[in-house]
Amino acid sequence: MTKLLIVDDSPLMRKLLTEIFVEAGGFDLAVARDGGEALEQLHAFAPDVVTLDIHMPGLDGLACLDRIMVERPTPVVMVSSLTEEGAEETLEALSLGAVDFVAKPRGPLSLEIDNVAALLVQKVRAAAGARLSRATRLTDRVRLRTARPPRPARPAKRAARRKASGKLEGVAAVLVGVSTGGPPALDVLLEPIPADFPWPIVIAQHMPRSFTGPLARRLDGRCAISVVEVTRPTPLQPGHAYIGRGDADLLVSRRSAGVVAMPAPARPDLHWHPNTDRLVESAIAALGAQALVGVLMTGMGSDGAKAMAALRQGGGHVIAQDAGTSVVWGMPGALVALEGADLILPLPEIAPQLIDWAVG
């Protein structure tokens, strides 16, 4: 039985969320009307997971989340709006240590809540088994409170665990798939990459449409390389990272002007978008597996595992994030189960490995 604390100032939202988890089964539930009650329940009820609204009177969701991570670190799933402001606040929450988020329906709650019910239950169940990194949260809290620019993550020096093949020749792009825990992980991946990195980096991060633009801008402000959201066919260039637009898929294609990243309508038979398998398959078709490096990072499910295993089998190189540094070891774990990774690395070691392969 998973102990779940639902925190929301709306009586209707608390009622609807309670009904969802009662119907799903397997949950012992408690509710709180605001951040103050949530902190009381944090110790009295000792939840395994918390769903936390961002906008509440008094102690709001971000301040409450910060206190949760200090007083009793617990997996938290944020419940946020689909506005740009909601996206910025949600990204801040993820940097503070929230595991994941679910966007509130745009329409009347009582009519639209069923559209997110299954996803919410799935994310809360995944969060119950999530790994929390206390050190990372502490670093992020210091960044938030002092408003200082973040420093690039210092990669752990474990050279013996890296591939000793030296520089890779003929690489045209790096493909990254990531989901739950992705935004903070992308910070760690991209911040150490130098501005003159010779390979474009193309990223499928599972997110709604209104979140990927703010994510790209946030990363662009933190990184030496340029980070952009792909909203139209965009030529791939060295020293750039390309974030797929949410609720669509991201493809790599050859055009007369060269190789581009481009958005495509989400394929309805695929569960997650932007879809990593579809990204990798398009890049293999356009460039050949030998010209690609794949990186599959933290996330629930198995998106990307099959295509990245095929990439490796075709002569490309693939890195899987290890279980110890993944919030949820679903996607990279599925890749490892398929024996589709050349290397299984802790998150801080992935960027140094890419730099080693790129410049020798």
Domain ranges of the chain: 2-145, 164-359
- What's the mean per-residue pLDDT of the chain? 90
Active site residues: 179, 206, 303
CATH H-level superfamily of 164-359 = Methylesterase CheB, C-terminal domain (3.40.50.180)
Tell me if 309 sits within 8 A of 279, measured CB to CB: no
31: pLDDT strictly greater than 50:
yes
| Fold match, 2-145 / 164-359 | yes
State pLDDT tens for residues 55-90.
Answer: 899 999 999 999 999 999 999 999 987 777 789 999
Identify the helix (H) or strand (E) that includes residue 350.
helix 347-359
State pLDDT tens for residues 124-162.
Answer: 999 999 988 755 445 544 544 444 444 443 333 333 344
Round to whole Å and give the CA distance between 317 and 311. Answer: 7
Task: Categorize the per-residue pLDDT at 111 as very low, low, confident or very high, splitting at 50, 70 and 90.
Answer: low
Round to whole Å and give the CA distance between 293 and 166. Answer: 14
Beta bridge partners of 97: none
Q: Quote the pLDDT of residue 32.
A: 97
The encoded tokens of residue 71 equal 């007083």
Tell me if 78 sits within 8 A of 98, measured CB to CB: yes
User: Angle at the Cα of 129 (from 127 to 133), degrees rounded to 5?
Assistant: 80
Round to whole Å and give the CA distance between 294 and 173. Answer: 9
Checking DSSP bridges between strand 49-53 and strand 2-7, what pairing results, if any? Answer: parallel
Round to whole Å and give the CA distance between 210 and 7. Answer: 24
Read off the pTM.
Answer: 0.89
State pLDDT tens for residues 8-22.
Answer: 999 999 999 999 999
> What is the CATH number that goes with domain 2-145?
3.40.50.2300
The encoded tokens of residue 230 equal 């792909």
Which tops the pLDDT comparison, 270 or 164? 270
